[in-house]
């Protein structure tokens, strides 16, 4: 895999998908339907999914592409694959809260090595470079011209005053009980994979998730976090978090800046 070319392709597709999403987001009204698992889906999810999957298939025809909105792709497996959540945070999108993202990642050998997270309504763009390090691009975010790339790095956490970020739409008592095991100074709520990026940039120290997620929800944010020096582990035993699992379903997890002694489950 040519990682430099991959970064260019993923970045462009994420920006183009963001344009498609914002066109619908800024319209007067849009339909919301329920999928078979009762999760919501909109025309924006489907338009972004179709655009990204077609672009990846054209650029990398020999690499499996797994996308949230194409159920047929969920039954396939490979050691190397691209995985897409075209609109993570659909509830945030529906409620026009802005915390939704476009996510594209490459997984090799169970590890999300490269990824891009784009929050079009927030005008924030995070991705890994060809060498695996993570940056946040700032500026106009043109399709053909790459703007200033600011390297990002996780915090050196103050364990007596941790900054926690948790889900805006999926917060529950179990999550609060776990957070209460730490000495905290600040609590943020955010939607979608932006939570990973807040840890990656040092704006937060730890993100625990005690709820159902799929690999397409986490792979791109995980890649950016790893590229910024962060870690992601299983919640139950703090072992390495891997991808390519059966059905692409995740266990609970903790994403964090090294230096934190993790509390037991």
The CATH number of the domain holding residue 41 is 3.30.540.10
Provide the β-strand partners of residue 116: 104, 127
206-250 pLDDT tens trace: 999 999 999 999 999 999 999 999 999 999 999 999 999 999 999
CA distance linking residue 206 with residue 181, whole number of Å: 12
Same domain, yes or no: 131 and 182: no
Count structural domains, the chain: 2
- Average pLDDT over the chain, rounded to an integer: 94
Strand 32-34 and strand 134-138: the pairing is unpaired
Domain of residue 248, residue span? 162-256
CATH number assigned to the domain comprising residue 234: 3.40.190.80
Residue 87 annotated in ligand binding: yes
Residue 82 annotated as binding site = no
CA distances from 14 to 10, 151, 170, 187 (A): 6, 19, 25, 29
Q: Is 2 annotated as a binding residue?
A: no
Asked whether 164 and 184 are in contact (CB, 8 A), the reply is yes
User: Which pLDDT value is given to residue 172?
Assistant: 85
262 occurs within a structural domain: no
Asked if 3 and 114 touch (Cβ cutoff 8 Å), the reply is yes
Is 8 annotated as a binding-site member?
A: no
Per the model's pLDDT, the better-predicted residue between 73 and 137 turns out to be 137
Q: Is 89 annotated as a binding residue?
A: yes
pLDDT at 159: 96
136 and 212 assigned to the same domain:
no
Same domain for 20 and 98, yes or no, is yes
Q: Judge whether residue 11 has pLDDT over 70.
A: yes
Neighbours of 168 (CB within 10 A): 19
* pTM, full prediction: 0.95
Complete edge-to-edge strand list for the sheet that includes strand 253-256: 184-190, 162-167, 206-209, 253-256, 231-234
Residues 106 and 170 in one domain: no
């Amino acid at each position: 895999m040519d990682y430099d070319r991959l970064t260019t392709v993923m970045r462009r597709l994420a920006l183009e998908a963001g344009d498609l999403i914002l066109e619908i987001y800024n319209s007067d009204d849009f339909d919301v339907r329920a999928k078979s698992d009762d999760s919501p889906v909109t025309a924006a999810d489907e338009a972004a999914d179709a655009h990204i999957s077609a672009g990846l298939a054209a650029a990398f025809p020999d690499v499996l592409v797994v996308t949230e909105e194409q159920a047929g792709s969920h039954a396939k497996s490979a050691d190397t694959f691209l995985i897409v959540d075209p609109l993570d945070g659909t509830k945030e999108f529906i409620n026009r809260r802005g915390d939704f993202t476009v996510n594209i990642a490459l997984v090799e050998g169970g590890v999300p090595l490269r990824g891009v997270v784009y929050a079009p309504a927030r005008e924030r763009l995070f991705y890994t470079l060809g060498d695996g390090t993570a940056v946040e691009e700032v500026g106009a975010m043109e399709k053909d011209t790459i703007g200033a790339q600011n390297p990002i790095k996780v915090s050196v956490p103050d364990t007596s005053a941790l900054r926690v970020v948790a889900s805006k739409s999926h917060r529950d008592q179990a999550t609060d009980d776990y957070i209460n095991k730490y000495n905290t100074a600040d609590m943020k709520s955010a939607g979608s994979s932006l939570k990973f990026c807040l840890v990656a940039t040092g704006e937060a120290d730890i993100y625990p998730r005690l709820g159902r997620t799929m690999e397409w929800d986490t792979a791109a944010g995980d890649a950016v976090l790893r590229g910024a020096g962060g870690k992601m582990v299983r919640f139950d035993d703090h072992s390495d978090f891997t991808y390519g699992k059966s059905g692409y379903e995740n266990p609970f997890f903790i994403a964090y800046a090294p230096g934190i002694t993790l509390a037991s489950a």
